[in-house]
Amino acid sequence: MQPLGAVEQHGPHLPFNTDLLIAERVATAAVERVGGELEVWLLPPLAYTKSNEHAWSSGTIWLSATTLLAVLDDIGRCVAMTPARKLVFMNGHGGNSALVGVANREIRLHHGLMTFLAHPGVPPDQGGHSPAAELGMGIHGGTEETSLMLHLAPELVDMSVATRNVPESLGANRYVRFGGTVGFGWLSDDFGPEGHIGDPTTATAELGATLFDAAVEAFCGALGEIARFDLPIAP
């Protein structure tokens, strides 16, 4: 299993390694719980990934889409040299998801592995949950991600500079919105200079603990299904 993080701006209140830390902690906790029984091998996390929606911010360190696709394919090639027949990506950064979906098929085709994409929580712009107060658009540094960080690494969070930044105008749209049926290209500074999108002011460590436990529980269940998963060959 390969955790995927990011090193990217997360607004003024969260550290650059937010996605990396969350993905690594969920992956580690799940492997501690079910890794022995299911024979899961935990690879070191990949810190730098496709964060170019935050390219405007100094401190963001990102790989281009073509670079990350090549890196993931190389990882697949190397894993295919081992006895493992499956490769699971635990992805903490929503900006990677579409590309990892592409990589899953490339690796399947090139190296014969069965490939999977999981998240600590499905990003709200990909159909995941976000509190109603964020109009369903807490996609980056909002209530839930900030809560997770208050639970996992409170010393890295500065709530004194946390501000609500919800794109209210998009909330009125039925189709063209985060999580809507019509997607759109965006950069995080399209929504203001602070770069986060959501409402971190309502975050709590208690909510973070609940979300973390649920993420680990769900990922353990997913790993169980992945262990049993096979691709039926048509007769």
Q: Which is nearer to Zn ion, 7 or 226 (CB)?
A: 7
Residue linked to tokens 């170019």: 52
Q: Name the minimum Å distance from CB 78 to Zn ion.
A: 27
Residue 18 CB, nearest approach to Zn ion (Å): 5
Contact footprint for Zn ion (CB under 5 A): 18-19
By beta carbon distance, the residue nearest Zn ion is 19
Q: Which is nearer to Zn ion, 18 or 91 (CB)?
A: 18
CA 152/CA 139 separation, integer angstroms: 19
Which CB atom, from 19 or from 144, has the smaller least distance to Zn ion?
19
Nearer to Zn ion, 107 or 143 (CB): 143
Task: Tell me the closest approach of the beta carbon of residue 207 to Zn ion, in angstroms.
Answer: 16
The CB-of-93 to Zn ion minimum distance in angstroms stands at 6
**Residue whose CB is less far from Zn ion, 18 or 202:** 18
Q: In this complex, which beta carbon is closest to Zn ion, that of residue 21 or of residue 113?
A: 21
Neighbouring CB atoms inside 10 A of 47's CB total 17
Least spacing, CB of residue 10 vs Zn ion, in Å = 6
Minimum separation from the CB atom of position 83 to Zn ion (A) = 34
What HEC string does the chain produce?
CEEECCECCCCCCCCCCHHHHHHHHHHHHHHHHHHHHHCCCCCCCECCCCCHHHCCCCCCECCCHHHHHHHHHHHHHHHCCCCCCEEEEEECCHHHHHHHHHHHHHHHHHHCCEEEEECCCCCHHHCCCCCHHHCCCCCECCHHHHHHHHHHCHHHCCHHHCCCECCHHHHCCCCECCCCCECCCCCHHHHCCCCCEECHHHCCHHHHHHHHHHHHHHHHHHHHHHHHCCCCCCC
